[in-house]
Structure 1
Amino acid sequence: MTTLVLGASGATGQLVAQQLLAQGEAVIALVRSKARLTTSDTRPEQLKIIETNITQLSAADYLRSCVGQNNPYMNWVVVRPDTLMDDAGATEYEEPSPVRSPIFDSGKISRINVSHFIMRLVKEESAWQHWQGQSPVLYNRCGAS
């Protein structure tokens, strides 16, 4: 399986790409600028970098409406973090997330937890089967940093 990482030169996308490559997974990295991609693992057989600018198009909306949830040629999960923050290590997080108001009750999730969740999708068949064709929103569990 090859994993497409949108925003692979950003803070969260780099964590995701680095963890996937470290586990021997094939990655297609979409970046605005190759210069910002700092992954030290650039084995050409595992990593394909595509430099492009995806405007404000919502990937989740595009996949739902244009590709469809049951497309036989493409399997997908769009992970939607709320307010991103930096943490050194993974903590507990909620999946599925509780219903929250993003304006009046926004939650936080660490970049490392988003990356951890994506690694679970790639490595654990049961997690992939559960979330395939969906767009889960993740939050750190209450009490976690």
Structure 2
Amino acid sequence: MTVLVVGATGATGKLLVEQLLKRGHQVRVIVRSRDRLPDSVRSHPSITIVEANLLDLADEELGQHVSGCDAVASCLGHNLTFKGLFGNPRRLVTDATRRLCRAIEQAKPTGRVRFVLMNTAGNRNRDLDEPATFANRIVVGLIRWAVPPHADNEQASGVLRQEIGKNNSSLSWVVVRPDSLVNQSEVTEYELAPSPTRDPIFNAGTTSRINVAHFMADLATDREVWEKWVGQMPVIYNREEA
């Protein structure tokens, strides 16, 4: 399979690229600097590296990069700096999601391309009317107003839920929602649920980035896993020891 990964130089994106290459797939990445990729990735025979700012690419160029891909995975996010949180582009994830989906549609693939979006457990799935306490709603509302990346995550998933929908002839999608992200060196057992089983504000769980990468790689390349979660927003947690 051929998978396009955006956000490939981020903490989770690098791990996703490594997972896909390890499984023997062809991987394309769009990165602003190839030097931010690990040496083992840059020199891998199955990697195609495009050095560009995704949002600066012309529609025709972006269409060329998605053409022939079986899946597109986005690990885009905002850097945890003042400029990254409050500077432009304030809707990086949303704008990239919308442009990638449009490029896939215009490429007229012979089969439905899988789109996998990394998001956050703090973003409720409105399709399921997920419950939230009054305190949770107040805090999330404040975060939405004060921290632009949260609203960006909400709107990016909205592009897939509302603009693309579940019956698009060109692509189908899954939104992956990890809880509090941590670093681990190896994949461990993890749990998946259609909706949060913990309050992401007041009782957050943990999710290792490498587990997120493993699950996203499964979604992009494993038919059984994809069919189980397509059109949904699964939440992923590290499995806790009893």
Residue 122 (structure 1) aligned with residue 214 (structure 2): no
Q: Give the structure-2-normalised TM-score.
A: 0.52
Q: Select the structure that is richer in helix.
A: 2
* Separation of aligned partners in 2, 1:101 and 1:113: 20
The unaligned stretches of length 5 or more in structure 2 are 56-91, 95-152
> Partner letter of residue 27 of structure 1?
V
- C-alpha offsets along residues 74-95 of structure 1, whole Å, 9 cap, x if unaligned? 1222222121111121111111
What is aligned with 1:26?
A: 26
Which secondary structure state, in structure 2, belongs to the residue aligned with residue 8 of structure 1?
coil
Which structure 1 residue ranges, 4+ long, deviate > 6 Å from structure 2? none
Cα 1:29–1:65 shift into 2, 3 Å: farther
| Cα RMSD (Å) | 2.5
Which secondary structure state, in structure 2, belongs to the residue aligned with residue 75 of structure 1?
strand
Cα 1:56–1:127 shift into 2, 3 Å: closer
Conserved in 1, the CA contact under 8 Å of 2:34 and 2:49? Answer: no
What is aligned with 2:35?
A: 35
* Separation of aligned partners in 1, 2:231 and 2:49: 24
What is aligned with 1:2?
A: 2
What is aligned with 1:51?
A: 52
Residue 77 (structure 1) aligned with residue 174 (structure 2): yes
Cα 1:65–1:139 shift into 2, 3 Å: same
Q: CA shift at 1:139, angstroms?
A: 0.8
Cα 1:15–1:124 shift into 2, 3 Å: same
Conserved in 1, the CA contact under 8 Å of 2:179 and 2:236? Answer: yes
Please tell me whether Structure 1 or Structure 2 has the larger radius of gyration of its CA atoms. Answer: 2
Q: CA shift at 1:111, angstroms?
A: 1.1
Aligned residues: 144
> Partner letter of residue 104 of structure 1?
F
* Separation of aligned partners in 2, 1:30 and 1:68: 25
Q: Give the structure-1-normalised TM-score.
A: 0.81
The unaligned stretches of length 5 or more in structure 1 are none
* Separation of aligned partners in 1, 2:36 and 2:21: 17
* Separation of aligned partners in 2, 1:87 and 1:126: 26
Give the percent of matched residue pairs that are identical in Structure 1 and Structure 2.
46
